[in-house]
Amino acid sequence: MSKENESSALPSLYQTVKDNNLLSHKGHSKSLGQNFLFDPQIIAKIVRVAGSLKGFDVLEIGPGPGGLTRAILEQMPDKLFAIEKDPNCVTALEKLTQVSQGKLQVIKEDAANIKPQSLSQNPLKIIANLPYNVGTNLLLFWLKDLSKIASLTLMFQKEVALRITANPSSKDYGRLTVLCQYLCNVERVFDLPPHVFKPAPKVFSSVVHFIPKPLTTEELALTPFLEKVTATGFGKRRKMIRASLKELFGEDALKNTLDSLGLPETERPENLTLANYVELAKKLKEINLAVYNKNF
């Protein structure tokens, strides 16, 4: 869709919001975690982070009145799937769908119920200003299967972005950090202050760019064990790993594992590196396989 076609056939974003009463009911946007962006320069900057969209299909979550949607369409993706559960926003997107020359498909559904790969056989880029109340859960859902996903350019509240991109031995470092950085190369690209949104949230937001790593089948198969180790370890992050991981490995097996990896039993979960957690996951997989073979 060209800018000329857009300007001649579409009302402004502000007019779209007004015409469809998207902010007329107190608490409406807040209840759905919606915070709309109107500044075209900021919106275009977000889309640029995703790189060229030609030859890709794009998935957007919670398009609202369609500001980010318009900017994505201007970059000529093969197809844009926009998942929106708010019926008022679905109605607001009808004119944009009509002028998109068949490129925009709006899907009235909860994004948590749709695997991106079910929408297209083509490589996908996910670009979204995620609702704050579902952002982390959606990310974890997508991380379970990154096949055919070329990149994810996602906006979270800054607190979540800091957790995703944290370094070991910091207060933000945790399970989400390890899982994201094992599966993807991640970068917090820029932050946005509350006043650029309508309604303004109480927190800063951050755009994070993810590029899935080309992991082997064996490396991907390690993910469930990495999830177990991090969930157990960070579930008791104030304890030393000899206490926090004992229930998962067993006391003797844990001591042998830590000795073989050169990790002090007195270390705490937030001080272990990504490489440390990967090695622990490998050991846990070996232990589970040995138990399975013994029983069968």
* Model pLDDT for residues 113-150, shown as the tens digit of each residue: 999 999 999 999 999 999 888 999 999 999 999 999 99
3-class SS of residue 212:
strand
Looking at residue 30, what is its pLDDT? Answer: 45
Confidence of residue 28 (pLDDT cuts 50, 70, 90): very low
Alpha-carbon gap, residue 278 to 182, rounded angstroms: 8
- Statement: residue 194 has pLDDT above 60: yes
Mean pLDDT along residues 184-205: 95
Mean pLDDT along residues 252-272: 94
Looking at residue 26, what is its pLDDT? Answer: 45
- Statement: residue 7 has pLDDT above 70: no
How far, rounded to the nearest angstrom, does the alpha carbon of residue 61 sit from its chain's CA centroid?
A: 11
- Statement: residue 196 has pLDDT above 90: yes
Torsion of CA 274, 280, 281, 283, to 10 degrees: 150
Mean pLDDT along residues 201-219: 96
- Statement: residue 43 has pLDDT above 70: yes
Name the more confident of 14 and 290.
14
- Name the β-bridge partners of 212: 184
- Statement: residue 1 has pLDDT above 70: no
Name the more confident of 66 and 295.
66
In 3D, which of 176, 187, 162, 155 has the Cα closest to residue 62? 155
Q: Looking at the chain, which residues constitute the CATH 3.40.50.150 domain(s)?
A: 3-214
The third-level CATH classification (topology) of the domain covering 219-295 is Helicase, Ruva Protein; domain 3 (1.10.8)
Q: Looking at the chain, which residues constitute the CATH 1.10.8.100 domain(s)?
A: 219-295
Contact in structure between 163 and 187 (CB atoms under 8 Å)? no
What is the pLDDT of the chain when averaged over all its residues? 90
- Statement: residue 290 has pLDDT above 80: no
What ranges make up the beta strands (E) of the chain? Answer: 36-37, 57-61, 79-83, 104-107, 124-129, 149-157, 184-192, 197-198, 205-212
Looking at residue 16, what is its pLDDT? Answer: 87
Q: How far is CA 94 from CA 45, 59, 91, 109, 130, in A?
A: 25, 17, 5, 16, 21
- Statement: residue 46 has pLDDT above 80: yes
Q: Which CATH superfamily is domain 3-214 in?
A: Vaccinia Virus protein VP39 (3.40.50.150)
Looking at residue 288, what is its pLDDT? Answer: 82
Q: How far is CA 123 from CA 54, 72, 130, 268, 290, in A?
A: 11, 16, 21, 40, 38
